[in-house]
Amino acid sequence: QVQLVESGGGLVQAGGSLRLSCAASGRPYVMGWFRQAPGREREFVAAITWSGGSTYYADSVKGRFTISRDNAKNTVYLQMNSLKPEDTAVYYCAAVTSFYRGSLVEPKVYNYWGQGTQVTVSS
């Protein structure tokens, strides 16, 4: 069983920045961030592999968001810059802790989820 604890959400003006953190109680294979706005499906934001540090981003956040990890702390970060009102959503941390099939952009690949943290970007 892996627990994921998120922090760092909040309210920010358009163009501003926020950094989300997610601490895992165990060592994952992959960690990712998803988001879900009201009335919309959960969508992939970014992911990072734990061993090689390969990163993956949704087209909508490329160049603005950066995912990184601290291996010693089993913590993943999402640095969000140049935030837009359309980035407003609940952001979820997720982890893959065993062999997986499928694409890292699919929520079903991840077997552990955090509780979510609200990010609101005002115009």
Please give the pLDDT value at position 61: 98
Q: What is the mean pLDDT of each run of 10 residues along the chain (123 residues)?
A: 93 98 93 96 96 94 97 94 98 92 93 96 96
Please give the pLDDT value at position 123: 93
Please give the pLDDT value at position 18: 98
24-54 tens-digit pLDDT: 998 899 999 999 999 999 999 999 998 888 9
Cα 7 → chain centroid? 11
Please give the pLDDT value at position 99: 82
Q: Which of 6, 30, 22, 37 is nearest to 103 (CA)?
A: 30
* Residue 77 CB-half CA count within 13 A: 11
Residues 6+ apart with CB under 8 A from 101: 109
